[in-house]
Amino acid sequence: EEEENDEKEVVSPKEKKKKDSKPPIDEKEEPKTPTAISFDRPVRERKSVERLVATIEKDSGKDFHIAKGRGVALKDIPNVAYKLSRKKTEETFKLLHTILFGRRGKAAQVKSNISRFSGFVWHDDEEKQMNKVKEKLDKCIKEKLVEFCDVLDIPISSKASIRKEDLVTKLVDFLLKPHATTSELLADKDQRYKRKKRKRSSKSTSE
């Protein structure tokens, strides 16, 4: 009987341990609160992103207004529009944009803004504003001024002999009142040249 009692005593502590081991199950339930916090975090992030997007949209909506000048919009001058579409020298267009509008433009809008330019519109002292433009052009190297003339389809007699001062004068006169400088369309000229080239290549292959 004593042995049986001893066995009972040995068994009973194990049962106590099993009973004591139950509380940790409650501890596992405790980490539920951090999961609730993690669900809250994405909501807060989304709100902040929405605010950022809203501010970006507001900034992009503040595009400067391009006033109507005394001349023809560059996009309406066929040869200039043709050259703007074909030329890919971004630095040249960025610099030209700064000269035309007095500020840098967004990369995606530089060509579009230039194409809408129809002449300088000055509300203050015109002579002072014109001198500023001349100073900006004068700071450019001669090769860059020649490139501006090429893009704007301003005829130059001789690139080698023409003076820098004459290039600046030509550019300022044109930009005050943009207009078509020739009746010959470059797009048609290029197409004719391509046709001739194709005929020559076809003749050479047939021979």
Residue-level pLDDT at 137: 96
Residue-level pLDDT at 135: 95
Residue-level pLDDT at 153: 94
In a domain, 163, yes or no: yes
Cα–Cα distance between 51 and 116 in angstroms, integer?
Answer: 32
126-155 per-position pLDDT tens digit: 899 999 999 999 999 999 999 999 999 999
Residue-level pLDDT at 61: 40
In a domain, 116, yes or no: yes
In a domain, 131, yes or no: yes
In a domain, 85, yes or no: yes
Cα–Cα distance between 169 and 175 in angstroms, integer?
Answer: 10
In a domain, 179, yes or no: yes
Which parts of the chain sit beneath pLDDT 50? Answer: 1-11, 14, 16-18, 25-29, 36, 47-61
In a domain, 164, yes or no: yes
- Domain range enclosing 156: 78-186
In a domain, 87, yes or no: yes
Residue-level pLDDT at 57: 36
Residue-level pLDDT at 205: 63
Global confidence as pTM: 0.61
Residue-level pLDDT at 46: 53
The total number of structural domains in the chain stands at 1
In a domain, 23, yes or no: no
Residue with tokens 């971004």: 90
End-to-end Cα distance, the chain: 124
| 100: CB partners within 8 A, 6+ apart | 113, 114, 117, 120, 175
